[in-house]
């Protein structure tokens, strides 16, 4: 895909309530460009729902509850089918990681299992940023959040085993027609994944890595670099699962060491001088990278 | 149409089918489940052109109905008890969005202790969720009032969700003769599904739904929602009249029996009011002037209708098949609220009866009347069917002496 092929229309108005450098708003802008005007957006409670209060998109936008977007869009899908109005309309859910991996997982699982026709995009900023940065099921090991503070006894997220919830693999286990991971650092990849998702009959899921400058303590000018480094370090692996077949969508020639990704972020400051924690994080990243790579076609 | 022999769950399903619901989303829970099963059969047999959204929870059931309503479809769900408690969050969401979803509730209490039988705890704890609440006394009423609920909820002056409650097992699993309307009569009574003129999610006309409202404007919104529900009583009365023309069956927000010149009037919800009426008929033969006033419509609260029914009596017996822990019955305060401002204020006694499905028999009602004739006044609360501190004591605390 080439940049020339990207829709020049802006579906989000200029000016909104997002933090400076917000990657989720950037990603949402690109998702809407990928889908175009015949789209209905269901927005699960999260940062984007607040951002959208004053953003006024050029597509219908419905902020629902924290955990029910996949159920609401199921009803819309069914209703439009019965009314003979389903053709040509993209049904899109946008949600955060808390709404997706935690409180809304049941509704999402049900909607995928029922083979409802919708596109679900999860912007993963690895914590509940809208409520001030509490840990979620996708918060990585050692990360500092407001509910995993760096204390005198426990230092950051301390779950054992240390790997976070793997939403893409959870979704893939539902035999979903299409699922993919992507990153706000690769907008063309994001647009391509969303277009592919839209072409699918039935459910599709996009997991978009979305580093949060406010919550993670990243300089706003470095947000995209941090996101790109996550991919280059193999912390985030870009691949798609189509009819059960896993394909890599972004190759990494030589993986960068984990420190290069962590040093962008204040939430890891306490581990940069902790060789034991660094080794543990690196080991987890290596093992998952190898496991996913082995599963790729 | 000839009479059918239906139980309550079938009457609910048949009404939804004849209303031509387009999306039905529900989750199994006893004693409501058969409604979902019947609807599934109608769809799978090609008798109903609807989608069955086979959701993974009640929370999702009502959420799917809300989604269907957001694009203009006629949506129906059924639930009760724990399921209704799980739905509670979405009930507020649905009324705030002014989505005219209709729900049948086979009333069942809330755990624990585990209990699958009837009382009104499940719908009453959600009495302030902004829904129209209708309580039925017979299987025929379940059928009729679900049809009416679609008519009322979707009316352009109302646009609010409505639930039709019927007692679990007592009505859900008991079969009675029901006289359904023929399909042509239902089609003439209800507007075609999906024809309502209200804001919808439509890419041709992008709108923002479900947005934040800051404190400065919040009271204005609350007032509008409150007024919409309160004022829906006018639409309900009109719909009852139109239904009478279509069916020959007459309904009123309060179902009053022998209240004129009554010394005592029994007030309450649901099927126990048929038992109360039966008992009152018998007591009247013995010269006890007892009337009954069943609150068929509970939200909006039919204050004028109730005042008309109880205005002249000496004692009102409020039968609550529920308990507001730490205060008393949940129907009671609505009754005293309106009577307090009257020049003639009858004594209002509260009876907590039939919780968790304990049978309410004519003997229960007779006991209530007997206690009410004991000269008790004030904030007295009786538990005539609970065991007291000592075996055989009909109430937990000795009420104020006559």
**Averaged confidence pLDDT in chain B:** 94
Q: Quick one: which H or E segment has residue B176?
A: strand B175-178
Residues of B in contact with A109 (CB under 8 A): 56
Nearest CA in chain A to B49: A82
Residue B95, pLDDT score: 98
Q: Report the number of secondary-structure helices (H) and strands (E) in chain A.
A: 11, 8
Q: Where does B254-382 sit in CATH, by number?
A: 3.40.50.920
CA–CA dist A197, A120 (Å, integer): 9
3-state secondary structure of B326: coil
Residue B1, pLDDT score: 63
Range B4-247: architecture per CATH: 3-Layer(aba) Sandwich (3.40)
Q: DSSP per residue over B338-395, as a string?
A: HHTTSSS--EEEEEE--GGG----HHHHHHHHHHHTTT--SS-EE-TTS--SSTT-SS
Q: Give me the phi and psi of A278, to 5 degrees please.
A: -60, -40
Whether omega for the bond prior to residue B113 falls within 30 degrees of 0, making it cis, is yes
ipTM: 0.96
Among residues B319, B351, B101, B56, the alpha carbon closest in space to that of A74 is found at B56
Contacts of residue B214, Cβ cutoff 8 Å, sequence gap at least 6: none
Residue B385 CA to its chain's centroid (Å): 23
Nearest CA in chain A to B205: A60
Q: Answer whether A107 sits within 8 Å of B201, measured CB to CB.
A: no
Residue B400 confidence (pLDDT) above 50 = no
Residue B391 confidence (pLDDT) above 70 = no
Determine contact, residues B319/B267, Cβ cutoff 8 Å: yes
Q: How many CB pairs under 8 A join A and B?
A: 143
pLDDT tens digits, one per residue of B22-80 = 999 999 999 999 999 999 999 999 999 999 999 999 999 999 999 999 999 999 999 99
Residue B396 confidence (pLDDT) above 80 = no
Residue B392, pLDDT score: 41
Instruction: Label residue A297 exposed, middle or buried (CB < 10 Å: 0-12, 13-18, 19+).
Output: exposed
pLDDT tens digits, one per residue of B262-307 = 999 999 999 999 999 999 999 999 999 999 999 999 999 999 999 9
pLDDT tens digits, one per residue of B154-168 = 999 999 999 999 999
Q: Residues in chain A whose beta carbon is closer than 8 A to a beta carbon of chain B?
A: 37-40, 42, 50, 52-53, 56-65, 67-68, 70-83, 85, 89, 106-107, 109-110, 113-114
Average pLDDT over residues B326-334: 95
CA–CA dist B135, B299 (Å, integer): 10
Among residues A41, A57, A205, A195, the alpha carbon closest in space to that of A119 is found at A205
Average pLDDT over residues B126-153: 98
Average pLDDT over residues B205-229: 95
In this complex, which of A58, A75, A106 lies closest to B66 when CB atoms are compared? A75
Determine contact, residues B103/B161, Cβ cutoff 8 Å: yes
How far does B56 lie from chain A, in Å, by closest CA? 6
Q: Answer whether B60 sits within 8 Å of A74, measured CB to CB.
A: yes
Which residues of chain A register pLDDT less than 70? none
Q: DSSP per residue over A78-142, as a string?
A: HHHHHTT--TT-EEEEEEEHIIIIIITHHHHHHHHHTT---EEEEEE-SSBGGGT-B--TTPPTT
Token pair in block for residue B274: 């048929």
Determine contact, residues B317/B370, Cβ cutoff 8 Å: no
- A3-295 sits in which CATH class? alpha beta
Residue B58, pLDDT score: 98
> Which of A69, A78, A81, A99 best probes binding to B when mutated, by most B CB atoms within 10 angstroms?
A78
Among residues A148, A202, A214, A144, the alpha carbon closest in space to that of A178 is found at A202
Among residues B167, B168, B157, B93, the alpha carbon closest in space to that of B131 is found at B93
Q: Answer whether A71 sits within 8 Å of B69, measured CB to CB.
A: no
Average pLDDT over residues B107-131: 97
Among residues A58, A30, A24, the alpha carbon closest in space to that of A44 is found at A24
CA–CA dist A74, A76 (Å, integer): 5
Token pair in block for residue B100: 């005219």
Residue A199, pLDDT score: 97
Beta A90-96 vs A178-183: how paired, if at all? unpaired
Determine contact, residues B261/B289, Cβ cutoff 8 Å: yes
Q: DSSP per residue over B10-44, as a string?
A: HHHHHHHHHTT-SEEE----TTTHHHHHHHHHHHH
Residue A286, pLDDT score: 97
- Per-position b or e across B70-101, b if 16+ CB within 10 A of its CB: bbbbbbbbbbbbbbbbbbbbbbbbbbbbbbbb
Among residues B57, B209, B224, the alpha carbon closest in space to that of B130 is found at B224
Rg (CA), chain A: 18
Residue tagged 């009322």 (tokens): B152
Among residues B82, B94, B73, the alpha carbon closest in space to that of B28 is found at B82
Residue A54, pLDDT score: 76
Token pair in block for residue B275: 């038992």
Q: Answer whether A52 sits within 8 Å of B23, measured CB to CB.
A: no
Query: How does residue B389 score in pLDDT terms, banded at 50, 70 and 90?
Result: very low
CA–CA dist B300, B58 (Å, integer): 24
Among residues B372, B377, B330, the alpha carbon closest in space to that of B355 is found at B330
Among residues A117, A62, A53, the alpha carbon closest in space to that of A95 is found at A62
CA distances (Å), origin B133, targets A185, B152, B308, B335: 52, 11, 21, 16
Q: Answer whether B211 sits within 8 Å of A63, measured CB to CB.
A: yes
Residue B401, pLDDT score: 47
Nearest CA in chain A to B89: A65
Contacts of residue B349, Cβ cutoff 8 Å, sequence gap at least 6: B315, B316, B317, B318, B371, B372, B376, B380, B382
In this complex, which of B23, B65, B211 lies closest to A53 when CB atoms are compared? B211
Which phi-psi region, left, alpha or beta, contains residue B65 (left: φ > 0; alpha: ψ -120 to 50)?
alpha
Q: Answer whether B210 sits within 8 Å of A56, measured CB to CB.
A: no
Residue B395, pLDDT score: 52
In this complex, which of B59, B203, B205 lies closest to A68 when CB atoms are compared? B59
Whether omega for the bond prior to residue A161 falls within 30 degrees of 0, making it cis, is yes
Q: Answer whether A75 sits within 8 Å of B89, measured CB to CB.
A: no
The dihedral over CA atoms of A77, B208, A56, A196, expressed in degrees to the nearest 10, equals: -10
Residue B87, pLDDT score: 98
Contacts of residue A178, Cβ cutoff 8 Å, sequence gap at least 6: A196, A197, A200, A204, A205, A240, A241, A242, A243
Among residues B36, B9, B1, B297, the alpha carbon closest in space to that of B143 is found at B9
Token pair in block for residue A204: 């599709």
CA–CA dist A43, A104 (Å, integer): 12
Query: How does residue B377 score in pLDDT terms, banded at 50, 70 and 90?
Result: confident
Determine contact, residues B77/B103, Cβ cutoff 8 Å: yes
Residues of B in contact with A107 (CB under 8 A): 56-57, 59-60, 63
Domain residue limits, chain B: 4-247, 254-382
Nearest CA in chain B to A109: B56
pLDDT tens digits, one per residue of B219-241 = 999 999 999 999 999 999 999 99
Among residues B146, B149, B171, the alpha carbon closest in space to that of B275 is found at B171
Residue B287 CA to its chain's centroid (Å): 32
């Amino acid at each position: 895909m080439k940049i020339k092929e990207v829709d020049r229309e802006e579906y989000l108005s200029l000016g909104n309530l997002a933090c400076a450098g917000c990657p989720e708003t950037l990603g949402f802008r690109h998702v809407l460009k990928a889908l175009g005007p015949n789209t209905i957006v269901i927005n699960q409670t999260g940062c984007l729902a607040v951002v959208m209060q004053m953003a006024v998109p050029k597509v219908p936008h419905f902020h629902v509850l924290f955990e029910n977007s996949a159920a609401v869009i199921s009803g819309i899908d069914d209703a439009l089918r019965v009314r003979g109005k389903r053709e040509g309309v993209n049904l899109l859910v946008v949600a955060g990681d808390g709404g997706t991996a935690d409180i809304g997982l049941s509704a999402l699982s049900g909607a995928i299992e029922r083979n409802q026709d919708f596109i679900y995009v999860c912007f993963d900023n690895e914590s509940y940023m809208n409520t001030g940065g509490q840990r979620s099921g996708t918060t990585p090991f050692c990360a500092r959040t407001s509910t995993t503070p760096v204390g005198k006894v426990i230092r950051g997220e301390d779950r054992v085993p240390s790997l976070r919830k793997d939403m893409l693999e959870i979704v893939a286990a539902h035999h979903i027609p299409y699922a993919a991971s992507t990153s706000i650092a690769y907008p063309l990849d994001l647009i391509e994944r969303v277009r592919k998702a839209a072409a699918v009959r039935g459910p599709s899921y996009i997991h978009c890595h979305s580093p949060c400058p406010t919550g993670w303590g990243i300089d706003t000018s470095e947000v995209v670099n941090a996101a790109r480094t996550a991919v280059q370090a193999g912390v985030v692996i870009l691949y798609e699962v189509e009819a059960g077949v896993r394909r890599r969508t972004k190759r990494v020639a030589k993986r960068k060491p984990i420190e290069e990704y962590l040093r962008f972020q204040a939430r890891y400051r306490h581990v940069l001088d902790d060789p034991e924690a660094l080794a543990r994080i690196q080991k987890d990243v290596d093992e998952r990278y190898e496991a996913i790579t082995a599963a790729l076609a | 149409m000839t009479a059918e022999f239906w139980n309550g769950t079938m009457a609910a399903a048949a009404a939804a089918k004849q209303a031509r619901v387009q999306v039905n989303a529900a989750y199994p829970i006893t004693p409501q489940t058969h409604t979902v099963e019947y609807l599934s059969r109608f769809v799978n047999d090609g008798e109903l052109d609807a989608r069955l959204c086979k959701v993974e929870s009640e929370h999702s059931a009502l959420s799917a109905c809300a989604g269907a309503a957001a694009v203009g479809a006629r949506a129906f769900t059924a639930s009760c008890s724990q399921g209704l408690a799980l739905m509670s969050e979405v009930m507020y969401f649905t009324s705030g969005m002014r989505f005219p979803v209709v729900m049948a509730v086979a009333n069942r209490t809330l755990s624990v202790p585990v209990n699958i039988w009837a009382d009104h705890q499940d719908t009453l704890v959600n009495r302030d969720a902004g829904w129209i609440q209708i309580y039925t006394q017979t299987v025929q009423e379940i059928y009729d009032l679900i049809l009416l609920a679609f008519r009322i909820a979707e009316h352009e002056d109302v646009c609010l969700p409505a639930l039709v409650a019927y007692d679990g097992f007592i009505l859900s699993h008991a079969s009675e003769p029901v006289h359904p309307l023929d399909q042509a009569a239902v089609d003439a009574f209800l507007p075609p599904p999906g024809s309502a003129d209200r804001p919808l999610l439509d890419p041709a006309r992008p709108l923002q739904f479900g947005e934040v409202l800051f404190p400065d404007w919040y009271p204005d919104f609350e007032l509008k929602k409150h007024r919409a529900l309160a004022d829906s009583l006018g639409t309900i009365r009109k719909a009852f009249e139109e239904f009478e023309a279509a069916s020959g069956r007459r309904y009123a927000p309060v179902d009053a029996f022998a209240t004129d010149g009554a010394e005592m009037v029994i007030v309450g919800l649901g099927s126990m009011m048929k038992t109360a009426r039966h008992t009152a008929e018998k007591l009247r033969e013995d010269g006890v002037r007892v009337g009954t006033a069943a609150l068929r419509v509970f939200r909006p609260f039919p204050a004028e209708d109730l005042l008309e029914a109880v205005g002249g009596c000496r004692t009102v017996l409020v039968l609550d098949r529920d308990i507001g822990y730490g205060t008393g019955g949940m129907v009671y305060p609505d009754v005293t609220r309106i009577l307090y401002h009257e020049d003639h204020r009858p004594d209002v006694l509260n009876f907590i009866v039939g919780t968790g499905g304990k049978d309410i028999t004519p003997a229960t009602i007779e006991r209530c009347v007997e206690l009410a004739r004991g000269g008790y006044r004030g904030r007295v609360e009786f538990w005539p069917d609970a065991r007291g501190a000592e075996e055989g004591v009909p109430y937990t605390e000795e009420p104020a002496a006559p």
